[in-house]
Amino acid sequence: MTPHIIEIGPWQLALCLGFVLLAGATSFVHKLGLGRDLAVGTVRTFAQLFLMGYVLKFIFEVRISWLVLLMFAFMVAAAVHTIRGRVKERSISFAVPTFLSMLVSYALVTVVVTGVIVGARPWWTPQYFIPLAGMIVGNSMNAISICLDRLFSDLRSRRAEVEMKLALGADYREASREILAGAVRAGMIPSINSLMAVGLVSLPGMMTGQILSGTDPLTAIRYQIVVMLMLVASTAVGALIVTNLVRKRCFSKGQQLLLR
């Protein structure tokens, strides 16, 4: 027998606003200055999620492959826009290589997961492809933001070291190898921490959602294991490719560091 799913109606959603009011009151009492951000964030949460809900409902009903892939490209573009807002670097253009590398690498990972591991037929089945791709893009977005921010800051702070290596005959790869490794390592730490803590400290979102919808917990666990390993792999590949491409843009053809 299929478990009864408890619906959440408008009144329940309205009650949840009490949590935001509590956070706003805390900000007001302690003069944290977060009131406006909380208000804007709450409105955007409602608007964006309901809009996405209607869009996904339409895509799930029509089941058109190019529309699914267009949705995926839009998610990647939105992630790159967020990364640009977080990484305060304007002297080096990194949006295009970041978008292209994320688009290609994450599409390949998602296709492998949906078509080979999960076995969805066709591989672009929207009920599988879009949620899994969204988790990959969202998780990796944070990692790439950390990687790029660390890359730019370390290239600037260790400028003398990098230029000394360049003067001694090293190319830009050799001169910045340690900086690149440190940036990728920093971006990978959250994903590795999640691997260590999953199941003990937290029950991840996908697993929780499946259990709440009535899925057998063991089935939900299998899906969550696939998701966790998928996220670590996609984060590592995406961070490495993006950081390598952007690092190249930080140096001129004459092997000079362009960051000022």
Confidence band for 1, pLDDT divided at 50, 70 and 90: very low
pLDDT of residue 202: 63
Q: Is 255 part of a structural domain of the chain?
A: no
pLDDT in tens, 26-51: 999 998 898 999 999 999 999 999 99
Q: Are residues 42 and 72 in the same domain?
A: no
pLDDT of residue 214: 74
Q: Are residues 42 and 75 in the same domain?
A: no
Which domain covers residue 151, as residue numbers?
64-249
Q: Are residues 80 and 161 in the same domain?
A: yes
Considering the entire predicted model, what is its pTM? Answer: 0.84
Q: Is 13 part of a structural domain of the chain?
A: yes
Q: Are residues 104 and 35 in the same domain?
A: no
pLDDT (average), residues 188-192: 88
CA dist 123 and 118 (Å) reads 9
Q: Are residues 70 and 56 in the same domain?
A: no
Of 25, 41, 62, the position where a domain reaches its end is 62
Q: Are residues 140 and 23 in the same domain?
A: no
Q: Are residues 225 and 215 in the same domain?
A: yes
Rounded to the nearest 10 degrees, how much is the dihedral formed by the CA atoms of 46, 52, 53, 58?
Answer: 150
pLDDT in tens, 162-171: 999 999 989 9
- 3-class secondary-structure state, position 124: coil
The region of weakest confidence among 71-85, 148-162, 185-199, 201-215 is 201-215
- What mean pLDDT, rounded, does the chain reach? 89
Q: Is 2 part of a structural domain of the chain?
A: no
The secondary structure of residue 252, as a DSSP letter, is: -
Tokens read off for 242? 């993006």
Confidence band for 8, pLDDT divided at 50, 70 and 90: confident
Q: Is 257 part of a structural domain of the chain?
A: no
pLDDT of residue 204: 67
Q: Are residues 79 and 192 in the same domain?
A: yes
Of 26, 45, 62, the position where a domain reaches its end is 62
Q: Are residues 107 and 228 in the same domain?
A: yes
Most confident of 148-152, 198-202, 221-225: 148-152
pLDDT (average), residues 3-15: 81
The secondary structure of residue 256, as a DSSP letter, is: -
Confidence band for 203, pLDDT divided at 50, 70 and 90: low
Give per-residue burial for 107-141: e unless 16+ CB within 10 Å, then b: bebbeebbbeebebeebbbbebbbbbbbbbbebbb
How many domains in the chain? 2
Cα 153 to Cα 2, 94, 166, 227, 256, distances in angstroms: 53, 15, 18, 31, 17
Of 34, 62, 90, the position where a domain reaches its end is 62
Which residues have C-beta within 8 Å of that of residue 23, sequence separation ≥ 6? 34, 38
Confidence band for 65, pLDDT divided at 50, 70 and 90: very high
pLDDT (average), residues 208-221: 78
Task: Describe the crossing of helices 126-157 and 35-62 by its angle, rounded to 10 degrees.
Answer: 140
Q: Is 254 part of a structural domain of the chain?
A: no
* Residue showing tokens 């990692």: 143
The secondary structure of residue 114, as a DSSP letter, is: I
Residue 198 forms beta bridges with which residues?
A: 202
Q: Is 34 part of a structural domain of the chain?
A: yes
Q: Is 213 part of a structural domain of the chain?
A: yes
Residue 251 forms beta bridges with which residues?
A: 257
Residues comprising the chain, all counted: 260
Residue 192 has pLDDT above 60, yes or no: yes
Q: Is 260 part of a structural domain of the chain?
A: no
pLDDT in tens, 67-79: 999 999 999 999 9
Q: Are residues 79 and 55 in the same domain?
A: no
pLDDT of residue 244: 93
Q: Are residues 58 and 97 in the same domain?
A: no
pLDDT (average), residues 88-117: 91
Query: For residue 160, which phi and psi values (nearest 5 degrees)?
Result: -60, -40
Q: Are residues 81 and 17 in the same domain?
A: no
Long-range pairs, 208-211, Cβ under 8 A, ≥24? none
pLDDT in tens, 128-156: 999 999 888 988 898 999 999 999 999 99
